[in-house]
A and B are shown apart, each in its own frame.
Chain A
Amino acid sequence: MSLIDKINPVVRNIPPSGIRKFFDIVTEMKDAISLGVGEPDFVTPWRIREYGIYSLEKGHTYYTSNWGLAELREEISRYLNRKYNLSYDPKDEVIVTVGGSEGIDIALRALAGPGDEVLIQQPCFVSYKPCVEFTGATPVVIQTREENSFKLTPEQLEENITPKTKILMISYPNNPTGAIMTGEELQGIAEVVKKHDLIVISDEIYSELTYGTKHISIASLPQMRDRTIVINGFSKAFAMTGWRLGYTVGHRDIIGAMFKVHQYAVMCSPTTAQYAAIEALKNCDEDVDMMAREYNRRRRVVVQGLRKAGLKCFEPMGAFYAFPSVKETGLTSTEFCEKLLLDEKVALVPGNAFGESGEGFVRFSYAYSIETINEALERITRFVKKLGNGSGN
Chain B
Amino acid sequence: MKEILEILEKDSRTSPEQIAAMTGRDVEEVKQMIKKLEEDNVIAGYTTVVNWEKTDAELVTALIEVKVTPSRGQGFEKVASRIYNFPEVKALYLMSGSFDFAVIIEGKTMKEVALFVAEKLAPIDSVMSTATHFVLKKYKNDGVILHDKLTDNREVITL
Contacts and interface: CB of A to CB of B under 8 A. Distances in A.
Contacts of B157: 23, 26-27, 34, 36-37, 347, 349
A299 to B, nearest CB: 9
A353 B159 contact: yes
A301 interface: yes
A36 B158 contact: yes
Interface in B80-96: none
Contacts of A37: 154-158
B156 A293 contact: no
A295 to B, nearest CB: 11
A125 B159 contact: yes
A298 B22 contact: yes
B18 A301 contact: yes
Contacts of B152: 41
A370 B3 CA distance: 15
Given A37-B154, A39-B154, A349 B23 contact: no
B22 A297 contact: yes
A297 B77 CA distance: 41
Nearest to B157: A36
Interface residues of B, number: 16
Contacts of B75: none
Interface string B8-44: 0000000000100111100000000000000000000
A138 to B, nearest CB: 23
A43 B21 contact: no
Contacts of A370: 18, 22
B7 interface: yes
B155 to A, nearest CB: 7
B39 to A, nearest CB: 25
B22 A301 contact: yes
Interface in A334-369: 347, 349, 353-354
A349 B156 contact: no
Contacts of A354: 159
Nearest to A38: B158
B154 A347 contact: no
A10 to B, nearest CB: 21
B49 interface: no
Contact of B156 (A26, A305, A353): A26
A175 B158 CA distance: 12
Contacts of A305: 21
A149 interface: no
B150 interface: yes
B159 A293 contact: no
A26 B154 CA distance: 13
A126 interface: yes
A32 B156 CA distance: 9
A48 B59 CA distance: 36
Interface in A282-312: 293, 297-298, 300-301, 304-305
Given A293-B3, A300-B23, A353-B159, A41 B18 contact: no
Contacts of B6: 293
A180 to B, nearest CB: 17
Given A37-B157, A297-B23, 9 more contacts: A23-B157, A34-B156, A36-B157, A293-B3, A300-B24, A347-B157, A353-B159, A354-B159, A370-B18
13 contacts: A27-B157, A34-B157, A36-B158, A37-B156, A39-B158, A43-B150, A126-B159, A175-B159, A297-B7, A297-B22, A300-B22, A353-B159, A370-B18
The 6 closest A-B pairs by CB, nearest first: A36-B157, A297-B22, A301-B21, A34-B156, A38-B158, A126-B159
